[in-house]
Structure 1
Amino acid sequence: MDHDRIVPVLLGLLLGSWTIAAAWTIVSARFRQRRADTIHRSARRLARMVEESPALPLLVRTDGRIEASARLAQWLGLDAVPQYLSELDAGDRGLPTETLAQLTQAVLRAQKTAAPFRMVATPRGSDRSLALRGHLADPQVSPGGAALVWVFDFSDSETELTTLRQEAARARGDFTALVSLIEAAPMPMWFRRPDGALRLVNSAYVAAVAGESAEQVVEDGTELIETVEGLTAGQVAVQAAVRGAPIERLVPVTIDNQRRAFRVHDLPLGSEGIAGYAVDVEDLEEMARGFRAFREAQRAMLDQLSAGVAQFDAKRRLTFANQPFQSLFKLSPAAMADPPAFERLLDAARDAGRVPEVRDFPAWRRERAGWFAADVTREEAWPLSDGTHLRIVAQPVPDGGLLLIVEDRTEQLRLSATRDTLLRTRTATFDSLFESIAVFAPNGRMQLWNRRFAAEWGFESDFLDSHPHIEALLGKISPRLKVPNQAKAIGDVVRAATLDRRQTGGRIALADGRVLEFAGVPLPDGNGLLTVLDITDSQKAEAALRDRNAALEEADAVKTRFLANMSYQLRTPLTSIGGFAELLQAGVGGELSEEGAEYVQAIIASAEGLGEQIETLLDLSQSEAGLLPLSHEDVELMALVRSVVEERAARITRAELSLDLQGSNLVGSIKGDRRRLGRAFGHLLDNAIAATPKGGRILVQVSREKHEGRKFAQVVVSDNGPGMDEEALARALDGLKISGDGRTVERRQGLGLPLARELIRAHGGTLRLLSEPDQGTAAIVELP
């Protein structure tokens, strides 16, 4: 019974053990299955990753067999992976022979020496680039010394590298060109570090600072730009870097001992540094200064013009107006302080009455505003309400502005009207002249003529209206001359007046007996004037005058002989009478009674007076005839006047007069005839004695005077007598005058004053009489 119990138990235990063992086996199998599946999936994943990787393995065994993926065969252009390395060259596909040989040697070397290798291969007929990197395979991968070659497809990388190489080469070329350009630039250029220190300069910079080399200039830190307002060039560059914006400034720079203006630019280049360059703008500045000076000079010149000139900018604002423009448009200083626009200027001009009266002013103003957009110059005439006529010229300028020129033509129009009047007046004057007149142009054609010219020569109006040439005119004149060949003289006169600009003349005789005198006068306009005058009557009068002149010359000769004969015939008897009277007075003819002595004395006094009158008459006659003989000697003027006064001292005393002689010997001497000057002064003094009442006073002054740069001697004889009115003063110098019938002589006054005037005039002097009633008379003598 126990045995029966044990057996089931044992069977149960055995079955339980088997069950447990089976369960364990099943569980373990399932675990291994899952593990195998996991490993298989991992292997497939790894294989797929290898397939998808940019590098494919190529295992080369020691016997030359290879293991690789089908993808590698595609890279090499093969249908499938061959068994041996040597089969990678398929003739027209696969690796080239040289590349395969190189790969085989590298693989053998790696298998024997474990030396890694690298190489590049390009399959036949493909642009794929393959990089091969080989080394000895790990024993876990392949025992027995196989070589593992990793193949990389770097076609894209190669293209990119090629592009990068090209870009790098191009960048190097561009950099070299840029450096060469900077080096060859005529302007100084430089590059600074972020701290402002110089790092690179070009040749122009080195030359500007008179440096030896760019390296030396950079090492020394030689600055081209001087310190301005306490800031160095490096500090200004650092400011540009801090701001992150370029800085531009105009500074003076000394180059070759010359101060020149440079425009300096500092350009920040991020963290690399600051670039800079300097442009020489001295010529531009000089040009700008010259332009400003030219503009100022031009505006100053425009202010001197009589025409008004105004300039408007592209915004139609007035930028300049000279003084005539301001005057013509009545612009006030306030308006020029705030220059108006073109439209507002027209409005102001309308208010001032300086534009024409128009029906639609806004439309008229818009039309004038269109001048700014016009492409041609516009010109208008503006008649104003006050009678002023303005000429307006609107000239568009390239900058969109407008140049407005205003000219007041009022006076010009008046002159034009006056000119037309003068032309009509000239025509009327020409036609009314007594002379024949014709005007010829330099080409020989007749331009103008008067009616008398046509009548003088007998020309027809139709012929003159054709403005004939001088040769055709001479052909008409020649038959009318007494000597036809003399017509050439008229042509010569016309040519001399028009071409040679000389005034010539001549005289011709006509066949009808008339005598014409002609002359050619050059006119200011280049033409020549031919004047013809009929001198037939004057020729006859000239012949008569010539005969009369011969008769007068004969009469003058008779007069001369008469004066010479009269001088002898009068002087000889008078000298005899005086001589015999003196003999009787001396008692040669016997003792005279007291009454007889008085008679003799009266005869002598009468003879002396008659002799004096004869001398006066002869001197006056000879002086008027121009036959008065004069001697030229040095005459002391004061001594001469004193002697004349002393000779008349007795007469002055008898007339109970006083005489005052003023002057000195410093007056000097003059050139003249002593005797005749004494007679002239004596007659002046005699007239003063005769005209002065008892108790009167006579003043004689002798002096040297200077007037208007002319020096002369002056003798004044004055009295305080009754004086003379203007009529008596005029008769005082007439003396003897032939009566109206020419048969008798009319005596106006004594002969003393006329003789004195003639004697003084013969010495080149003058005699003036000044007199007023009740104020006395003064005789003023001026001698050179």
Structure 2
Amino acid sequence: MDFSPLSLVLIALVLAAWAVGAAMVVLRANQSVKRAKAMRTSLKRMQTLLDVAPALPLLVRVDGRIEAPEKLARMLGLAAMPKYLSELAAPAGNPKGGGLAQAQLDQLWSRIQTTQKSAAPFRMAINLPGAQRSLALYGTLADPQVSPGGAALVWVFDFTESHSEMARLRAAAARATGDFAALVGLIEAAPMPMWFRGSDLTLQLVNQAYVDAVGASTAAEVVQSQIELLEPDEGRSPADIARATLTSQAKSERIIAATIHGARRTLRVSDLPLGLEGVAGYAIDIEEQQQVAREFRAFRDAQRALLDQLSVGVALFDGDERLTFANRPFRRLFSLAEDAIEAHTPFERFLAEARERGRTPEVRDFPEWRRERTGWFGMQDTQEEAWPLPGGTHLRVVAQPMPDGGLILITEDRTESLALSAVRDTLLRTRTATLDSLFEALAIFAPDGSVQLWNRSFAGTWGLTPELLDLHPSADELLSAIGRNLVKPEEAGLIGAAVRAATLDRREKGGQVDLADGRTLRFAGIPLPDGNGLLTVLDITASQKAEQALRERAEALEEADAVKAKFLANMSYEFRTPLTTIGGYAELLKSGAAADPEAAGEYVDAILSAVERLTEQVENVLDLSQSEAGLLPIRKERLDLLDFLTTLVRDRETAIVAAGLSLDLKGRRGRVIEADPRQMGRAIGNLLDNAVVGTPEGGRIVIEIRRAPEGTEWGVEISIADNGRGMTSKELARAQGGVKPAGEGAPERRTGLGIPLARQLIAAHDGTLEIVSRKGAGTTATIRLP
């Protein structure tokens, strides 16, 4: 087939155009492949960057769908990334299952909605439940090219480590703040002045003690006025000294004087450089320490001066066993020179030099002996030794360890005292032999009351054992033993008073005591020139008995005469009164003065009453005389006490009613006694009459019958008590002796021999009568019968 040239040209053009088009397609395809390869490389790079990025994106659409890398799911503890935000919630009841807590999720969704509506960014931090992971969320509205539907883009940051570090730093900061506040408070409350100078060496901070010391009102005033506490020292101001401290960066300390509160005080001032920031300083008041040091030096000097005046030698060794002081007697005893003290001679060397001068005992092994004495420094108790020196000298050595490890060595020359002791022992033996040869009982008491010396007859005279005296008892112990042998143990105090007078008061004092064995001893305490007291005792039993017999006979005669006189005086009154009454009324009748029969009857009644009274007194005298002579007839029979006393009271009913008294009789029937009704009735009647006469109108008389207390020899008790005028002890004694005790304008308490007769009649029935009376409180008579 033939083609025309034009056709060929056209074909050639078409083929060329096709070739060009194909070439362009190939070229474009190559470019697209390259772009795709570059895009894949870029995507891989971006994915890698997202994987290693500190923040992960979370895209949240309006409907709650989410897009996020799987790394975020692993960060939240989920197996896979869910499609909706609500599915990020942790499973209920399993907070460790991963995801967010429901409250956290609700808060996040609320923030996201706000951002989607208002495009306002938000920030929040959450702690994953059940995990120690902290997340920071930063949310913004997503770019339309990322998500055109108004989605929110939330960047999630894992700041667990940062959060822990921040918590640690926050706690450290809080602790540092508290420590700083405490330090500031401590500095402010410190009792010593403290201050701080800046790098320019001006005062920038002072505490309250500094303010008070300089007399300022506030710390600000001190800083503003730059008030210095310290004075210049050797031409250098406190600022110059602080500058030197800051330059050398070394602490400086000095002792200077300053005026604080108007008084000069000694201060120890310290400056401490605080790097290049400044210098801190503080001042400690050591005035008391300085005063104590001065007092100690003065005391030490006074003590050493005092020790030089002693007769015993005293030497001081320090904790290093070196001699620091020795008084004159010590230096004289051991022949020490002054340079030995100044050289602080060691203790072992001191002993060696003393041995060379013959001032130590002769021992076989001197090194061992010296080693034992060196051991005194480590002991707790005081050591005492006797050192017999060559030449007959005897030293008493006392080693007293000190708390600081030192030692006080006290030495005393006992040579003369030992010789005097030997002479004294001889004199004591001579005195003892002399005392033992005396007939008197002697004992010597020391001023402290202890028995020092006695002769052989002393123990036998007082009935003591020699073993007791061998113990050298005190005066109290000796008197206690003597008191057991006395008739009246309390009289041992008389002996003690004599001993005290001789030993303490230095005067003589004597006395006399009776022993239980019938002997009578006369003693005397005599002071001795040596300060002791001598107790001398003499047995005067024989002479005392003769004297006592004569005295008793004279007293008996005087008492009998006095009783006779009282009895005659009283009975003269008792007999004369009714006789006078009878004679007077008889004379009236004889003279016809009682012409009226009624008046004559009254006179006759008075005469009969006086005759009755006289008859009663005569019978009382006769009964009393028969009772004392033992001739009173007693005809006993069984009596019921209640009925018997009731009869006695009925017989005196008229007198009781006339006196305006009340009488109570207490007891029960069945209490029976063996007694003579007449004699017992007279005894109780006399006591009852006394109660009626001695009780004023409106008074009360109580008669009580009761069983005697168990354990006594009595079977029954009868008490007659009244609340009348009563009697004093003197009046009661006179009444019991048969003498009338009359009150001022008051009726007589009793008449005649009522109480003595009642006592005799009751005694005839083997009973007793006891009367107790108190002035203004009444009288009680108690009869006890078997």
Distance 1:117 1:461, change over 3 A: closer
Pairing partner for 1:355 from 338, 354, 360: 360
Task: Quote the offset at 1:147 in angstroms.
Answer: 3.1
| Distance in 2 of aligned mates of 1:527 and 1:103 | 112
- 1:527 matched to 2:533: yes
The answer to whether structure 1 residue 60 and structure 2 residue 42 are counterparts is no
**Is 1:390 paired with 2:373?**
no
The change in CA–CA distance for 1:32 and 1:436 in structure 2 (over 3 A counts) is same
CA distance in 2, matches of 1:191, 1:490: 83
1:225 to 230, 235, 251: 230
Deviation at 1:342, TM superposition (A): 0.9
For the pair 1:85 / 2:85, whether they are aligned, the reply is yes
Q: Distance in 1 between matches of 2:101 and 2:481?
A: 115
Distance verdict in 2 for CA 1:243–1:444, change over 3 Å: closer
Q: Do the aligned residues in 2 keep the contact of 1:471 with 1:491 (CA within 8 Å)? A: no
Look up the equivalent residue of 2:393 and give its one-letter code: T
CA deviation string 1:343-371 (max 9, x = no partner): 11111111111111222222222222122
How far off its partner does 1:520 sit?
A: 6.5
Pairwise mapping of residues 363-762 of structure 1 onto structure 2 (< 5 A)? Answer: 363-427=368-432, 438-441=442-445, 447-449=453-455, 497=502, 501-503=506-508, 521-523=526-528, 524-528=530-534, 530=536
| Distance across 1 between alignment mates of 2:68 and 2:465 | 129
Which residue is equivalent to 1:315?
A: 320
Q: What is the rounded CA distance, in whole Å, between the counterparts of 2:376 and 2:33 in structure 1?
A: 104
Cα deviation for residue 214 of structure 1 reads 0.9
* 1:117/1:396 CA distance change after superposition, 3 Å: same
CA contact (8 A) 2:322 2:344 kept: yes
Bigger Rg, structure 1 or 2 = 1
Deviation readout 1:143-164 (Å, 9 max, x if unpaired): 5554322101112222222222
TM-score by length of 1: 0.54
| Contact 2:57/2:153, CA 8 A, preserved across alignment | yes
Give the conservation status (yes or no) of the 8 Å contact 2:258–2:265.
yes
2: distance between equivalents of 1:349 and 1:472?
Answer: 55
Shift of 1:60: 2.8
* Deviation, structure 1 residue 136: 3.5
Secondary structure of the residue aligned to 2:231 is: coil
Q: Does 1:73 align with 2:66?
A: no
Cα 1:117–1:235 change in 2 (3 A) is same
SS in 1 for 2:296: helix
2:435·2:454 contact (CA, 8 Å) conserved in 1? no
Query: Whole-Å Cα distance in 2 between the matches of residues 446 and 151 of structure 1?
Result: 109
Contact 1:494–1:530, Cα closer than 8 Å, also in 2? no
CA distance in 2, matches of 1:415, 1:74: 112
Q: How is 1:212-361 mapped onto 2 (pairs within 5 angstroms)?
A: 212-361=217-366
CA contact (8 A) 1:358 1:364 kept: yes
Q: 1:142 to 1:445 in 2, by over 3 A?
A: closer
**Which AA in structure 1 matches 2:169?**
L
1:234 CA displacement: 2.2
Deviation of 1:35 after TM superposition, in Å, equals: 8.2
Which deviates more, 494-503 or 253-262? 494-503
The 1:289/1:492 distance shift into structure 2, 3 A limit, reads closer
- Tell me by how many angstroms 1:333 deviates: 2.1
Distance 1:123 1:466, change over 3 A: closer
- Contact map agreement 2:314 2:408 (CA 8 A) in 1: yes
**How has the CA–CA distance of structure 1 residues 58 and 311 changed in structure 2, closer, same or farther, with 3 Å as cutoff?**
same
The one-character-per-residue Cα deviations of 1:406-460 (angstroms, maximum 9, x if unpaired) are 2222222122112112223445666899x9894444879894459xx99xxx999
Instruction: Show CA shifts across 1:269-304 (max 9, x none).
Output: 213322222111111111111111111111111111
Structure 1 residue 530: deviation in Å? Answer: 4.9
CA contact (8 A) 2:324 2:341 kept: no
1:235 alignment partner, SS class = helix
Q: Given residue 370 of structure 1, which amino acid in structure 2 is its aligned partner?
A: G
Structure 1 pair 176–426 and aligned structure 2 pair: CA distance change class (3 A): same
Q: CA deviation at 1:131?
A: 0.5
Cα displacement (A) at 1:494: 8.4
- Residue 205 of structure 1 deviates from its aligned partner by 1.1
Cα distance in 2, alignment partners of residues 431 and 107 from structure 1: 129
5+ long unaligned stretches in structure 1: 1-10, 477-488, 507-516, 533-784
Question: Distance between the aligned counterparts of 1:471 and 1:267, measured in 2?
Answer: 78
Residue identity opposite 2:351 in structure 1? L
Equivalent residue for 1:199, pick from 182, 199, 204 = 204
Alignment of 1:119-130 (within 5 A): 119-130=124-135
User: What do residues 497-546 of structure 1 show as CA deviations (whole Å, max 9, x unaligned)?
Assistant: 5676334799xxxxxxxxxx9996411333226599xxxxxxxxxxxxxx
**Counterpart residue number, 1:162:** 167
Alignment of 1:152 with 2:157, yes or no, is yes
1:202/1:445 CA distance change after superposition, 3 Å? closer
CA RMSD between the two structures: 4.5
Matched, 1:103 2:119: no
Amino acid at match of 2:360: V
Contact 2:464 / 2:481 at 8 angstroms: preserved in 1? no
Counterpart contact for 1:309–1:321, Cα < 8 Å: yes
Aligned pair partner of 2:216 in 185, 202, 211:
211
- Rate the CA distance shift 1:493–1:139 in 2: closer, same or farther, 3 A: closer
Letter aligned with residue 188 of structure 1: P
Instruction: Give the AA of the match of 2:84.
Output: Y
- The alpha-carbon distance between structure 1 residues 96 and 346, as it changes in their structure 2 partners (threshold 3 A), is same
Report the Cα distance in structure 2 between the residues aligned to 1:413 and 1:406, rounded to whole angstroms. Answer: 15
- Per-residue deviation, 1:341: 0.7
Q: Pick closer, same or farther for the CA change 1:44–1:300 going to 2, 3 Å.
A: farther
Provide the rounded CA distance (Å) in 2 between the counterparts of 1:308 and 1:153.
89
Q: Which whole-Å CA distance do the structure 1 matches of 2:311 and 2:452 have between them? A: 38
Structure 2 unaligned residues grouped into runs of 5+: 1-11, 93-97, 471-477, 486-493, 512-521, 539-786
Moved more, 123-132 or 252-261: 123-132
* Aligned equivalents of 1:383, 1:53: Cα separation in 2: 103
Determine if contact 1:193/1:273 at 8 Å carries over to the other structure. Answer: yes
> What is the Cα deviation at residue 52 of structure 1?
3.3
User: In the aligned structure 2, how far is the partner of 1:126 from the partner of 1:110?
Assistant: 28
Partners of 1:269 and 1:491 in 2: CA distance: 82
Q: Which amino acid aligns with 1:66?
A: I
Letter in 2 for 1:362: P
Q: C-alpha distance in 2, partners of 1:417/1:95?
A: 111
- The answer (yes or no) to whether the contact 2:216–2:222 under 8 Å persists in 1 is yes
Cα offset, 1:101, TM superposition: 4.1
Work out whether residues 124 and 136 of structure 2, in 8 Å CA contact, stay in contact via their aligned partners in 1. Answer: yes
Percentage of identical aligned residues: 54
SS of equivalent residue, structure 1 residue 83? coil
**Residues 502, 144 of structure 1: CA spacing in aligned structure 2 closer, same or farther, 3 A cutoff?**
closer
User: Using a 3 Å threshold, how does the CA distance of structure 1 residues 494 and 310 change in structure 2: closer, same or farther?
Assistant: closer
Tell me, in whole angstroms, the C-alpha distance in 2 between the residues paired with 1:464 and 1:70. 117
With over 3 angstroms needed to count, the CA separation of the structure-2 counterparts of 1:38 and 1:349, relative to structure 1, is farther
